[in-house]
Amino acid sequence: MSDVGSRLHDVRARIATAAERAGRDPAAITLIAVSKKKPAEALRAAFDAGQRAFGENYLQEAREKQNALADLAIEWHFVGPLQSNKTKEAAGYFDWIHTIDRLKVARRLADQRPGDRGPLNVCLQVNLSGETTKSGVAPADLPALADGVAALPGLALRGLMALPAPAEAEAEQRAPFRRLRELRDSLNDRGLALDTLSMGMTADLEAAVLEGATHLRIGTAIFGAR
């Protein structure tokens, strides 16, 4: 087995163990292999080991890998910051965008989504306090943004994403993930139907699974250090 293949195997085992602790079905958790700064061959090795969903942060880098891997049936997730002048490529070449934090970007994606590709799956990135980036909508502004995005044709609003600051202890890691789940639940109580929580990375995937993550975004544990 390739290094990437054996590391993927270990990550799947971590997910299965955490799912068992949480009393959840591991099949309800999608592993996204975040491959920023890694060459196309590393993604191909992961694909050969059964991985199908890949996440990229930079559009130009992603386009190069998409061209090199056009023979593979990959589900492409965009997980990086998205500027409004880059939406056309994002809308055309990805299946999911995880990082919408303003209506302007969502409107452009909706307008630019090619009709033959079906709705673009999107998540709203929420800035819980203490994030490492400034991206993300404030929780207070989330309901209005969610209503606006849900009304756009061409987009399927699937859920919420967060990138909390690193924390050591599991209890500390769980707190922001729980908050994200509660925000999702309160939007659903207001009439939306969000099925996705995109949360959890290499260092905190167990905490994310325990709090209901449906999509884990894992880079280092699969591909090694960047």
Q: By the criterion CB under 6 A, which residues form the site for ligand PLP?
A: 34, 36, 57, 79, 163, 201-203, 217-221
Nearer of residues 176 and 219 to ligand PLP, judged by Cβ: 219
Closest approach of ligand PLP to the CB of residue 161, in Å = 8
The tokens for 202 are 């290499």
Nearer of residues 151 and 165 to ligand PLP, judged by Cβ: 165
Torsion, Cα of 84, 135, 76, 224 (10° steps): 140
What are the residues whose beta carbons fall under 8 Å from the beta carbon of 193, sequence distance 6 or more? none
Nearer of residues 57 and 112 to ligand PLP, judged by Cβ: 57
Closest approach of ligand PLP to the CB of residue 34, in Å = 4
Closest approach of ligand PLP to the CB of residue 100, in Å = 13
Partner residues linked to 120 by β-bridges:
155
The dihedral region occupied by 130, where left means phi > 0, alpha psi between -120 and 50, and beta the remainder, is left
Shortest-Cβ-distance residue relative to ligand PLP: 219
Nearer of residues 2 and 202 to ligand PLP, judged by Cβ: 202
Classified as helix, coil or strand, 46 is helix
* Contact between residue 197 and residue 215 where contact means Cβ atoms under 8 Å apart: yes
Closest approach of ligand PLP to the CB of residue 188, in Å = 24
